[in-house]
Amino acid sequence: MNPVGIHFGYWTQYWEVDPLPFIARAKKCGFDVLEVRAQKIARMSTAERDTLKGAAANAGIGLTYSIGMTADMDMLSEDAAIRKNAITFLHEVCRGMQQLGGTIMAGINYSSWPRRPLPGEDKQLLTDRAVEGVREAVKGAEDCGVYICIEVVNRFEHFLMNTAAEGIAFVQRVGSPNCKVHLDTFHLNIEEDSIGGAIVEAGPWLGHFHIGEANRRPPGRGRMPWPEIFGALHQINYQGAVVMEPFLIPGGEVGRDIAVYRYLPGHDKLDEEATRSAEFVRAEQKKAQSAQSKNEG
């Protein structure tokens, strides 16, 4: 089965926090993977990275890394210096990952987030800029033996890539085995006619996968078609982690950026909800395996 992970932002209202305490919490709740903020690990000292690496290893927790770029690191910018900032920063992240362990850097790593097109901007020109920038950034990933996974998000958060097909076309243009697609059920639910179909279409291009309900609650508390989702992941033999990215608490940087404006059910028992959801995800994976075996039989 796929390793099951959780995003550190589930437990905090602020992005720039020390990820170390969340390792024990993820372990306690039954997870295999903790997803941490790429910006944070890029700015850590060597000693701080060694401490985080040791804690994760001792707990048996793998690490993945996610990012939402800021306006001063936007590969879509007309300003070549800003585009260079983005590339340089992603190279720093790759080197940090190489030291820490874990090979997946996901999220909106090709532009600032959130972002809408400015008046007069041409989407094709901006896509060309992003492809050029990621081609340079992925050289650092290749050197470090890690992957840059390009997240496809909904139209309300970004405009460049909203469907799996657009993400696939983008990574094909980048043309590196170290550049993959990152899909997320929250965004797929908004943009795709068929969530399972989009996963199957991504196939070998899929490098990272986020899971969550349509309202950002943990898996198992909503209406997502989980048998379809895990069946599609099993069909394409996806081997990576499935990382839940729920957000239940308004306020702070996280609530503002994710657009959480009310307390969602479960906000007062976060660990209990996370534990239940991890169990639910593993049960759904087992069902998908069983269904596939019956079909093959």
* Average pLDDT for runs of 10 along the chain of length 297: 98 96 99 98 96 98 97 97 98 98 98 95 98 99 99 98 99 99 99 99 99 98 98 98 98 96 98 99 96 71
Active-site choice (151, 201, 213, 273): 151
Residue 4's SS3 state is strand
Interior angle at CA 170, CA 165 and CA 171, nearest 5: 105
pLDDT in the model for residue 279? 99
Give me the sign of the Cα torsion angle 36, 272, 274, 67: negative
- Which one is catalytic: 192, 245, 273, 284? 245
Q: What is the pLDDT of residue 138?
A: 99
The question of whether 151 is a catalytic residue gets the answer yes
Q: Which residues pair with 59 in a beta bridge?
A: none
The matching CATH number, chosen from 3.30.70.20, 3.40.50.720, 3.90.1150.10, 3.20.20.150, for 4-296 is 3.20.20.150
Q: Is 245 a catalytic residue?
A: yes
**What is the structure's pLDDT at 297?**
60
Q: Do the Cβ atoms of 123 and 156 come closer than 8 Å?
A: no
Q: What pLDDT score does 186 carry?
A: 99
CA dist., res. 131 & res. 161, Å (int) = 12
Beta strands in the chain (DSSP E): 4-7, 33-37, 62-69, 104-112, 147-151, 179-184, 206-211, 242-244
**Rounded distance between C-alpha atoms, residue 64 and residue 49, angstroms:** 14
User: In this predicted model, what pLDDT tens digit does every residue of 156-208 receive, in sequence order?
Assistant: 999 999 999 999 999 999 999 999 999 999 999 999 999 999 999 999 999 99
Which tens digits make up the pLDDT trace of 206-237? 999 999 999 999 999 999 999 999 999 999 99
